[in-house]
Amino acid sequence: MPESNSAEGSDRSEEQVSGAKVIAQALKTQNVEYMFGVVGIPVTEIALAAQELGMRYIGMRNEQAACYAASAVGYLTGRPGVCLVVSGPGLIHALGGMANANMNCWPLIVIGGSSERNQETMGAFQEFPQVEACRLYSKFSARPTSIEHIPFVIEKAVRSSIYGRPGACYVDIPADLVTLQEKVNSIKYKECCMPPPVSMAEPPAVCMAASVIRNAKQPLLIIGKGAAFSHAEDSIRKLVEQCNLPFLPTPMGKGVVPDNHPNCVGAARSRALQFADVIVLFGARLNWILHFGLPPRYRADVKFVQIDICAEELGNNVRPAVTLLGDINAVSKQLLEQFDKTPWRYPTDSKWWKTLREKMKSNEAVSKELASKKSLPMNYYTVFYHVQEQLPRDCFIVSEGANTMDIGRTVLQNYLPRHRLDAGTFGTMGVGLGFAIAAAIVAKDRSPGQRVICVEGDSAFGFSGMEVETICRYNLPIILLVVNNNGIYQGFDADTWEKMLNFQEAATSVPPMCLLPNSHYEQVMTAFGGRGYFVQTPEELRNSLKQTLEDTSKPCLINIMIEPQSTRKAQDFHWLTRSNM
């Protein structure tokens, strides 16, 4: 018997494991659940190893879309998704997704295959300085030196992606490490990293912030996606209601407090920003989306109370009255404690509330009038009015495009946090289908029955339209709405198009923003087995949306024709107008 035991122990000590399996196990040990990618030399074995361990691998059609999907998973779950790409061009395609994740502050791990170590500088297949290139787009970029080193690097990448301000991290895997074998007992996996530490603001600063809010004549809360990521919805909603404060969500801050809450002043956005005397920023940055916090969009004497997890963000573009460094949820609770100790409530009958409500009523009336127009083709407001009527309250809304996204933000409402994804801080086009796939995969696993409504401009759809095949392959519960105006910003109708082509060569006469009129994008969906609709009237839109919401057996694309010259209603301030510095 002793001899037999010794032989078994000897067999185990000689057991070998490949680098691919070590990578998969290291990710699994760090509680990473989702992997998106486009496989090929040298990373196919990594995807297979991940599937063997029960990780979800979703094969995409383009590395950019795979990277967008993996980053959206990081935002939705708080744990990074993985984007798996091949060397050289494969990684370069993924850089857009890495930059987008870093700008949006979303956790992401990109694993890129690279040329073999002994071929470096020799002109190897797809050789490229990948680690160096990714440093511009990530928080952490490294290459393991051996199979034994892989678990250490992956743990650090996962930890770096979620600690502090979240972001993208890159792990480079030389081709020879993927298939290289090493003794099982020589691999030491690092224990799963601890959850991110929760930091709190300094108590004197919290007291000062509460005092500034109490003394405000025209207060405003701005709720950013940082608040959504930190799961601050309960504490912020309680603060809004307890103190009767008006709030304005940023695009992906929508739903932290429901859009239909009586204190939401999204319909009076410009007025609220321009005349508030105290603004509290909950995980929202004073960048281009909020017009840098500068006049003429804001009062010259406005006081900012800035709450952010990143110290370097505090004081950007303005000098805040108070800065609160810490986790948004934790700091919101600290503020609530101040108002629990000494209750205070902003008066409902104040002149400020009256001003905001009058502007909201006026703007809503204009939007309603635009939506009620009976003329054909439809305009944006008519489309979104009929869509909003039927949307499930718990659906994810994904959106990208120019007017499609901007107008959709004002009309399509969110009632739950982390249920809206759009072009975000980086203003990235092409994110829509990747984001929708990520939301649908997470919804399938965690909230079966939830639908994903992906609202695309026709130009935006073109960036990643082939991901429709991915949607159909995995039979994801996604409804794609392509709001089709035949162009980028604006296009031409078929008659004008024909006249233009008859007049001159297309290359010299077609304006750069024009696309082919009346393109049948719905046929892309039917080509892969989904359902497609080509709609031109409100009745056709209502009926097609109703059918696809009732029948969840297949994904769907509704191609919605609108007036090519349709635009948004007149704005007090244009979205991208520069502030007077």
Is beta strand 490-491 parallel, antiparallel or unpaired with respect to 487-488? Answer: antiparallel
308 near 325, Cβ under 8 Å? yes
> Is residue 493 in some structural domain?
yes
**What's the pLDDT score for residue 494?**
85
Same domain? For 406 and 507 the reply is yes
Please give the structure tokens belonging to residue 104.
């949006």
pTM of the model: 0.94
Q: Where are the alpha helices (DSSP H) in 148-297?
A: 150-162, 175-179, 203-214, 225-229, 233-243, 269-275
End residue of a domain, out of 293, 327, 356: 356
What is the per-residue pLDDT across 440-471, written as a single tens digit (0 to 9) for each? Answer: 999 999 888 899 999 999 999 999 999 999 99
Same domain? For 345 and 397 the reply is no
Cα–Cα distance measured from residue 349 to residue 161, given in angstroms and rounded to the nearest whole number: 46
Same domain? For 464 and 557 the reply is yes
Q: How confident is the model at residue 489 (pLDDT cuts 50, 70, 90)?
A: confident
CATH number at residue 260: 3.40.50.1220
pLDDT surpasses 90 at 123? no
3-state secondary structure of 71: helix
Q: What residues contact residue 217 under an 8 Å CB cut-off, 6+ apart?
A: 277, 278, 352
147 near 117, Cβ under 8 Å? no
Among residues 24, 54, 45, 43, the alpha carbon closest in space to that of 151 is found at 24
Number of domain units in the chain: 3
Same domain? For 254 and 165 the reply is no
473 near 466, Cβ under 8 Å? no
pLDDT surpasses 60 at 10? no
Same domain? For 50 and 163 the reply is yes
Q: For the residues 497-507, what does the mean pLDDT come to?
A: 70
Same domain? For 179 and 208 the reply is no
**What's the pLDDT score for residue 579?**
42
Please give the structure tokens belonging to residue 544.
């097609």
> Is residue 361 in some structural domain?
no
Cα–Cα distance measured from residue 451 to residue 473, given in angstroms and rounded to the nearest whole number: 17
Is beta strand 531-535 parallel, antiparallel or unpaired with respect to 556-561? Answer: parallel
Q: What residues contact residue 112 under an 8 Å CB cut-off, 6+ apart?
A: 43, 85, 86, 87, 90, 91, 94, 130, 134, 170, 171, 172, 173
Helix H, strand E, coil C: the string for 103-149 is HHCCCEEEEEEECCHHHCCCCCCCCCCHHHHHHHHCCEEECCCCCCC
Q: How confident is the model at residue 576 (pLDDT cuts 50, 70, 90)?
A: low
Q: Which one-letter DSSP state was computed for residue 514?
A: B
Same domain? For 322 and 397 the reply is no
Work out the number of other CB atoms within 10 angstroms of the CB of residue 456. 29
What is the per-residue pLDDT across 295-334, written as a single tens digit (0 to 9) for each? Answer: 999 999 999 999 999 999 999 999 999 999 999 999 999 9
Q: For the residues 89-100, what does the mean pLDDT come to?
A: 97
Token pair 């009346």: residue: 518
Cα–Cα distance measured from residue 7 to residue 5, given in angstroms and rounded to the nearest whole number: 5
Same domain? For 124 and 220 the reply is no
Q: Which one-letter DSSP state was computed for residue 378?
A: B
Same domain? For 177 and 207 the reply is no
What is the per-residue pLDDT across 517-538, written as a single tens digit (0 to 9) for each? Answer: 999 999 999 999 999 999 999 9
pLDDT surpasses 50 at 1? no
- Rounded to a whole number of angstroms, the distance between the first and last alpha carbons of the chain is 85
> Is residue 2 in some structural domain?
no
281 near 293, Cβ under 8 Å? no
Strand partners, 457: 483
Q: In the β-sheet with 556-561, what is the strand arrangement from edge to edge? A: 420-421, 396-400, 452-457, 478-484, 556-561, 531-535
Give Cα separations from 206 to 203, 239, 320, 414, 503 (angstroms).
5, 14, 14, 30, 68
- Domain range holding 274? 203-356
**What's the pLDDT score for residue 505?**
65
Please give the structure tokens belonging to residue 106.
């979303």
pLDDT surpasses 50 at 2? no
Express as a percent the part of the chain with pLDDT over 90: 86
Cα–Cα distance measured from residue 525 to residue 476, given in angstroms and rounded to the nearest whole number: 12
Q: How many CA atoms lie within 13 A of 363 on its CB side?
A: 22
> Is residue 338 in some structural domain?
yes
**What's the pLDDT score for residue 300?**
97
Q: What are phi and psi of 512, to 5 degrees?
A: -60, -25
Same domain? For 150 and 226 the reply is no
Q: For the residues 208-217, what does the mean pLDDT come to?
A: 98
Q: What are phi and psi of 505, to 5 degrees?
A: -65, 140
> Is residue 363 in some structural domain?
no
Supply the Cα-derived Rg of the chain in whole angstroms.
Answer: 26
324 near 283, Cβ under 8 Å? no
**What's the pLDDT score for residue 125?**
81
Token pair 């006026």: residue: 362
**What's the pLDDT score for residue 122?**
76
User: Checking phi first, is residue 401 left (phi over 0); if not, alpha (psi -120 to 50) or beta?
Assistant: left
Q: What residues contact residue 63 under an 8 Å CB cut-off, 6+ apart?
A: 37, 38, 83, 85, 90, 91, 93, 94, 97
Same domain? For 172 and 266 the reply is no
**What's the pLDDT score for residue 571?**
59
Work out the number of other CB atoms within 10 angstroms of the CB of residue 428. 22
CA–centroid distance for 495 within its chain: 38
> Is residue 573 in some structural domain?
no
Q: Please, what is the average pLDDT of the chain?
A: 93
What is the per-residue pLDDT across 464-476, written as a single tens digit (0 to 9) for each? Answer: 999 999 999 999 9
Lowest mean pLDDT among 96-110, 330-344, 391-405, 488-502: 488-502
Among residues 228, 115, 259, 215, the alpha carbon closest in space to that of 173 is found at 115
pLDDT surpasses 70 at 217? yes
> Is residue 486 in some structural domain?
yes
pLDDT surpasses 70 at 11? no
Q: How confident is the model at residue 495 (pLDDT cuts 50, 70, 90)?
A: confident
Q: How confident is the model at residue 580 (pLDDT cuts 50, 70, 90)?
A: very low
**What's the pLDDT score for residue 499?**
77
545 near 385, Cβ under 8 Å? no
**What's the pLDDT score for residue 578?**
47
Question: What is the chain's length?
Answer: 581
Q: For the residues 144-152, what does the mean pLDDT come to?
A: 97
What is the per-residue pLDDT across 249-305, written as a single tens digit (0 to 9) for each? Answer: 999 999 999 999 999 999 999 999 999 999 999 999 999 999 999 999 999 999 999
> Is residue 579 in some structural domain?
no
Same domain? For 408 and 506 the reply is yes
Q: How confident is the model at residue 508 (pLDDT cuts 50, 70, 90)?
A: low
With the CA atoms of 80, 31, 233 and 108 taken in that order, what torsion angle do they form, in degrees rounded to the nearest 10?
Answer: 0
What is the per-residue pLDDT across 550-563, written as a single tens digit (0 to 9) for each? Answer: 998 999 999 999 99
Q: How confident is the model at residue 503 (pLDDT cuts 50, 70, 90)?
A: low
CA–centroid distance for 502 within its chain: 43
**Secondary-structure breakdown of the chain: helix, strand, coil percentages, each rounded to the nearest 5:** 45, 15, 40
**What's the pLDDT score for residue 282?**
98
**What's the pLDDT score for residue 8?**
53
**More confidently predicted of 493 and 162:** 162
CATH number at residue 181: 3.40.50.970
